[in-house]
Each structure stands twice: as C-alpha cells, then as structure tokens.
C-alpha cells in the first residue's frame, strides 16, 4: 500500500485502487490510526469505504452530503442527527435511526424534536425497526388505566386522542394526554406494567417533573406484558424481548 498524508486528508493506493478521505471526515482519525498501526490492507480499504459512505447517502427525504444531513432539502441538526452520522462513521446500520428521524420530523412540536431522542436514550427506551420506540406504562390489575379505569391496555389495543387534547406544557406533570414512562416511573405507578409502542410524531411533551421520567403522547399501542427491562437502544418491534432475532451483541445494544 502506498499513501500520502497532508493537511487536506489522506490518499492511498490499495491493490491498484485509489482511496481518499478528507481531514474533516468523521472517519479520518480511524483511517490514520489504522495506517500508523500497520493494519491489513483490507481493513484500511473498508475504513476508506465507510468514510465515503458518510459523505453521501440518499433514502427518501433524507440526504447526507459531506457529513451534513438534509431532510426534504433543508439542513437538519440535533442530537439524533449526530447519532446517525456517528453510526455511519462507525459503519453501523442506520435504518432504524433514519426511520425514527423521518417520523420525528413529522412532529409539529419543536421541543419534542429537540428533546425526545435524548430522553429515550437516557431512560433506556429502544427504537424499533420502523422508527417508533418502546416504553413502559403502569396500569391496573385488570389492564385499565390508573387515572380513569376506562382505557383497556391489554396487548394489541391502540388508543388515540386528538393532539389538541394533550397538554403540551412541559411544566405540567399530571395533565391531559396518554402517559408513557421509564421503567422506574411505570412500575411505581400501576399494579401491572405493559410495554407500549409510540410513534415519535405523536409525542406532545416531556414533563420536567419526576426528572423527565415520562412523556405525553396522543397515540400508543400496547405490545405485551412487562417481562423485564427492555434492551437499551434497539429492538425488533414484533419481539421487544429478543426471543427471536435479537442479538445481544448488536451495536445498538451497547
């Protein structure tokens, strides 16, 4: 392998093929370290390919160009975008995160867009394949909701209310709307706990009370009974406990 390093980046010839990575590319440091440490040529070539994948990505309304993410032609920034670019730089699968961002950007609430992903990661609420997320809900022994005892929360039930009926003020704790919480919140609230699925576009507010341990949404689906803590970051929405295809060594579960 022949290579040259300068202020603008690294260029290398590997097995007769030329590879280039710019110095501002997220993978630049990995490529440089691999060369310094005399890694095998296949490994270094793959790092170059990963670097170029970060530079250009298209799918639906999402476009990544030179490390900048655009949605419907408009540049998007924020925590979840940084996470997507980081996953791309590390060569990890990003489709669930792309689906999550696409759903999230349909949410009319600027606060929800800015805060939701951090809340989910902090409270160990995993993202599903289709870009929704799973959380916990405390209910009565008979699966009815604790507040009114009128909503049936047996697995398979879907509940929805007009978004305008949900309190969007994050300063209000117990207020109008469906509540989904962290494991600690849900298990302390109801006699029974169920796993629910929420589309990020339907989240209305994340109350600041109780250390941001719950959120209000206009819609949710009951997936199954709580059997133990969910995996931290990623899961199959049809198998949240990983009894089928779940891989405990999947990078989303680090």
Q: What is the 3-state secondary structure (H, E, C) of 97-162?
A: HHHHHHHHCCCCCHHHHHHHHHHHHHCCCCECCCCCEEEEEEECCCCEECCCCCCECCCCCEEECC
Mean pLDDT of 222-251: 68
In whole angstroms, give the CA distance from residue 199 to residue 180. 12
Give the pLDDT score at 245: 46
Q: Which two tokens stand for residue 220?
A: 């949710």
pLDDT of 92 strictly over 90: no
pLDDT of 154 strictly over 90: yes
80: left (phi over 0), alpha (psi -120 to 50) or beta: alpha
Which domains are present in the chain?
2-92 (no CATH), 110-240 (3.20.170)
In whole angstroms, give the CA distance from residue 144 to residue 159. 12
Which alpha helices (DSSP H) does the chain contain, by range?
28-36, 41-55, 79-89, 95-104, 110-122, 183-189
Q: What does each C-alpha distance from 197 to 75, 114, 181 come to in angstroms?
A: 29, 20, 11
Give the pLDDT score at 211: 64
Cβ(98)–Cβ(89) under 8 Å? no
Give the pLDDT score at 126: 86
Q: Which residues contact 218 (CB under 8 A, 6 or more apart)?
A: 160, 161, 162, 163, 165, 166, 177, 178, 202, 204
- pTM of the predicted structure, to 2 decimals: 0.73
Mean pLDDT of 45-55: 79
Give the pLDDT score at 136: 93
User: pLDDT tens digits, residue range 173-224?
Assistant: 677 889 998 888 888 888 999 999 999 999 998 877 656 678 999 999 999 9
Give the pLDDT score at 254: 36
Mean pLDDT of 229-242: 73
Give the pLDDT score at 223: 93
Q: Which range has the top average pLDDT, 20-24, 150-154, 178-182, 233-237?
A: 150-154
Q: Which range has the top average pLDDT, 47-56, 79-88, 119-128, 135-144?
A: 135-144
Give the pLDDT score at 236: 73
């Amino acid at each position: 392998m022949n290579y040259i390093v300068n202020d603008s980046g690294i260029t290398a010839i590997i097995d007769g093929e030329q590879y280039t990575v710019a110095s501002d590319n997220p993978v630049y440091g990995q490529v440089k370290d691999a060369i310094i440490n005399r890694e095998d040529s296949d490994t270094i070539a793959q790092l170059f390919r990963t670097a170029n994948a970060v530079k250009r990505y298209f799918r639906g309304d999402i476009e990544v160009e030179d490390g900048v993410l655009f949605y419907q032609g408009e540049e998007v920034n924020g925590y979840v975008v940084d996470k997507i670019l980081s996953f791309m730089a590390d060569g990890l699968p990003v489709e669930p995160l792309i689906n999550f961002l696409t759903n999230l950007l349909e949410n009319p609430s600027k606060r929800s867009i800015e805060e939701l992903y951090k809340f989910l990661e902090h409270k160990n609420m995993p993202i599903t394949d289709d870009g929704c997320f799973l959380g916990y809900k405390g209910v009565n022994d008979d699966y009815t909701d604790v507040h009114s005892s009128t909503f049936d929360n047996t697995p398979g039930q879907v509940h929805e209310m007009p978004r305008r009926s949900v309190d969007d003020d994050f300063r209000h704790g117990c207020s109008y709307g469906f509540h989904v919480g962290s494991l600690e919140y849900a298990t302390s609230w109801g006699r029974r706990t169920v796993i629910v699925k929420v589309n990020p576009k339907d989240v209305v507010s994340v109350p600041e009370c109780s250390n941001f341990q719950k959120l209000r949404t206009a819609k949710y689906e009951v997936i199954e009974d709580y059997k133990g803590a969910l995996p931290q970051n990623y899961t199959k929405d049809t198998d949240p406990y990983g009894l089928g295809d779940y891989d405990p060594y999947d990078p989303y579960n680090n």
